[in-house]
Amino acid sequence: MIGEALSAHQWVVFSIFIVGYLCIVFEHVIKVNKTTTALLMASFCWIAHFLGPIPFFEDLRVFSKGLAETSEVVFFLLGALAIVESIHAHGSLNLICSLMRVSSKKAALWLVAIVSFFLSSVLDNLTSTVVMVVLLRKLVHDYEDRIVFGSVVVMAANAGGVWTPMGDVTTTMLWVKGKVTSGGVVQSLFFPSLACLVGSVAVAGRSINGVLQRPEDCSFEVQPHAKEVLIFGLLALVAVPVLKCTTGLPPFLGILTALSSVWLFTDYIHRGHPDRSKLHMTAVFPYIDIVSLLFFLGILLAVNVLQVAGILTYLANSIDAVVATKEAMAILMGLLSAVVDNVPLVAAAMGMYDLSVYPVDSCFWKLIAYCAGTGGSILIIGSAAGIAFMGLERVKFFWYVRKASLAALCGYFTGIGFYLVQQSIFGGV
In this predicted model, what pLDDT tens digit does every residue of 175-209 receive, in sequence order? 888 899 988 899 999 999 999 999 999 999 887 88
pLDDT at 1: 38
Does residue 234 sit in helix, strand or coil?
helix
**Across residues 359-364, what is the average pLDDT?**
89
Q: Is the pLDDT of residue 426 over 80?
A: no
24: in domain: no
Residue 301: which residues within 8 A CB-CB, separation 6 or more? 42, 45, 46, 66, 67, 70
Residue 344 lies in a domain: yes
Query: pLDDT value at position 48?
Result: 92
* Most confidently predicted of 165-169, 213-217, 406-410: 406-410
Domain membership of residue 131 as a residue range: 59-426
Task: Determine, yes or no, domain membership for 305.
Answer: yes
> What pLDDT shows up at residue 395?
83
User: What is the average pLDDT value for the chain, to the nearest integer?
Assistant: 85
Task: Work out the widest C-alpha separation in the chain, in whole angstroms.
Answer: 70
Q: Is residue 2 part of a domain?
A: no
| Residue 60: pLDDT band with limits 50, 70, 90 | confident
242: CB partners within 8 A, 6+ apart: none
Is residue 224 pLDDT above 60, yes or no? yes
Res 2: pLDDT: 45
Does residue 215 form part of some domain? yes
pTM for this prediction: 0.74
Determine the Cα–Cα distance for residues 58 and 1; give it in Å rounded to an integer: 29
Please provide residue 54's backbone torsions phi and psi, each rounded to the nearest 5 degrees. Answer: -75, 140
Give pLDDT, residue 375. Answer: 92
Whether 53 is covered by a domain: the verdict is: no
Mean pLDDT of 25-35: 83
Residue 9 has pLDDT above 70, yes or no: yes
In a domain, 120, yes or no: yes
pLDDT-derived band at 3 (thresholds 50, 70, 90) equals very low
Q: What is the pLDDT of residues 68-89, one digit of tens each?
A: 888 887 888 888 888 888 988 8
429 pLDDT higher than 60: no
- Say what percent of the chain tops pLDDT 70: 94
Contact assessment for residue 192 and residue 422, using Cβ atoms and an 8 Å cutoff: yes
The count of domains in the chain is 1
Q: What is the pLDDT of residue 194?
A: 96
Higher pLDDT, residue 330 or 429: 330
Q: Rounded to an integer, what distance in angstroms lies between the CA atom of residue 190 and that of residue 119?
A: 14
CA distances to 104, 180, 365 from 360, in Å? 45, 5, 8
Express each pLDDT in 132-157 by its tens digit: 887 887 788 888 888 999 999 999 99
Instruction: Give the rounded percent of residues in the chain with a pLDDT score beyond 90.
Output: 26
**Which of the residue ranges 25-34, 249-258, 369-378 would you say has the lowest mean pLDDT?**
25-34
29: Cβ–Cβ under 8 A, 6 or more apart, which residues? none
pLDDT at 427: 67
Cα radius of gyration rounded to whole Å, the chain: 22
Interval 221-229 mean pLDDT: 86
Contact, 374 vs 167, CB < 8 A?
A: no
Most confident of 216-230, 259-273, 277-291, 300-314: 259-273
**417 or 329: which leads in pLDDT:** 417
CA 228 to CA 84: how far, in whole Å?
Answer: 14
pLDDT (tens digit per residue) in 93-112: 677 766 667 778 888 899 99
Q: Residue 40 falls within a domain, yes or no?
A: no
